[in-house]
């Protein structure tokens, strides 16, 4: 039970784009080269970010991806949900057959709330709130506090810092 590496890829790519600063779209190949990632696979993650409204994509030559909004307006939750989907962390497997499979609840309310589900749901809500409370700008600021020279390594190509 762990988050996929797509989250890490997305966070770093978004930070890279922010560090670049200018509004120029950056192609997948370049973004992937920075961290030696698979361009094709990274592209799939970026498409997810586009769908979620975190990135804008520019097709055609000189195209690529650019930030759709500033880092201040992107929370860690946005990134996680964009990449991993918004399925619940805990999903009941109906081992007690008490979920009344097939029965449609009146759109929004559950007739028989499951205590296990609600308990796990409360915990997930706390997780999501904590993620939502942290923006990518916060993460960037915290990162720069420890390694001020961390910017501009996209331009340099393959810098390790």
Partner DNA sequence: GCATATCTGGATAGTAAACATCCGGATATG
Partner DNA sequence: CATATCCGGATGTTTACTATCCAGATATGC
Rule CB under 7 A: which residues touch DNA? 1-2, 4-6, 25-29, 37-41, 43-44, 46-47, 50, 57-65
Contact call for residue 105 and ligand SF4 (CB under 6 A):
no
Stretch that binds a copy of itself, among 18-26, 46-54, 60-68, 81-89 (CB under 8 A): 81-89
Residue 152: name the closest of 20, 4, 26 by CA.
Answer: 20
Decide which of a copy of itself, DNA, ligand SF4, none touches 129; Cβ closer than 5 to 8 Å per partner kind: a copy of itself
Q: Are 82 and 68 in contact (CB under 8 A)?
A: no
| 95/113 Cα distance (integer angstroms) | 15
Q: Tokens 């081992």 sit at which residue? A: 95
Q: Are 76 and 10 in contact (CB under 8 A)?
A: no
- Binding letters toward ligand SF4, positions 109-138, x by CB under 6 A: -----x-xx---------------------
């Amino acid at each position: 039970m762990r988050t996929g590496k797509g989250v890490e890829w997305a966070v770093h790519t978004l930070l890279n784009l922010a560090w670049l600063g200018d509004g120029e779209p950056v192609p997948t190949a370049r973004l992937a080269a920075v961290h030696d990632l698979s361009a094709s696979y990274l592209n799939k993650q970026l498409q997810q970010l586009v769908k979620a409204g975190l990135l804008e994509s520019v097709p055609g030559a000189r195209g690529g991806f650019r930030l759709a909004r500033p880092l201040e307006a992107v929370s860690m939750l946005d990134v996680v949900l964009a990449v991993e989907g918004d399925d619940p962390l805990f999903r009941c497997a109906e081992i007690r057959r008490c979920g009344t499979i097939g029965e449609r609840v009146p759109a929004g309310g559950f007739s028989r709330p499951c205590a296990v589900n609600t308990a796990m749901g409360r915990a997930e809500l706390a997780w999501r709130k904590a993620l939502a409370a942290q923006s990518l700008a916060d993460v960037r600021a915290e990162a720069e506090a420890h390694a001020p020279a961390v910017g501009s390594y996209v331009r340099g190509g393959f810098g390790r810092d």
